[in-house]
Amino acid sequence: QLTAALYGDHAIVGHVFRGYNNPFGKRPTASYKWTQLTLTKLRSAVALVGKPPRFIVEVGSFAGGSALVLGRYAKELGTGAAGTHAPPVLCIDTWLGDTNMALGRVESKLMDKRWGQPTLYHQFLTNLVAANLT
């Protein structure tokens, strides 16, 4: 929806999952348990606002833990009253990790550097594809 609104109905620039072939053979993982976001907390927060979101933005997606929660919630909203649609979820990150990760001090397995670059983005995509949130 967002891609069509920004670039037209035939644009493919925003379809990051289309044709994704998992070049590093990543497997879905929930090993990085940093997120505190749960469906229960999200539903409670939205209830306080009084109306569901029409667009969801996440800044700092990393391996996708909270993106999975947001995506499931968006899907849940899309199965509501007739004519309702799941709001798009836009995830923003560099997928480069923080300084300690870049230096190999923490989470080196998750960073899984190849040719000097972390493969976090591929882990993120793999996790979302496995959860059917594309």
How many angstroms separate the CA atoms of 72 and 131, rounded? Answer: 9
What average pLDDT does the chain have? 87
The residue segments making up the domain with residue 96 are 2-130
For tokens 């493919």, what's the residue? 12
Residue 92: pLDDT above 90? Answer: yes
Number of domains in the chain: 1
Nearest CA to 121 among 7, 10, 20, 19?
Answer: 20
Res. 1 pLDDT band, cuts 50 70 90: low
State the DSSP string of 93-123: --SS--HHHHTTSS-HHHH--BTTB--HHHH
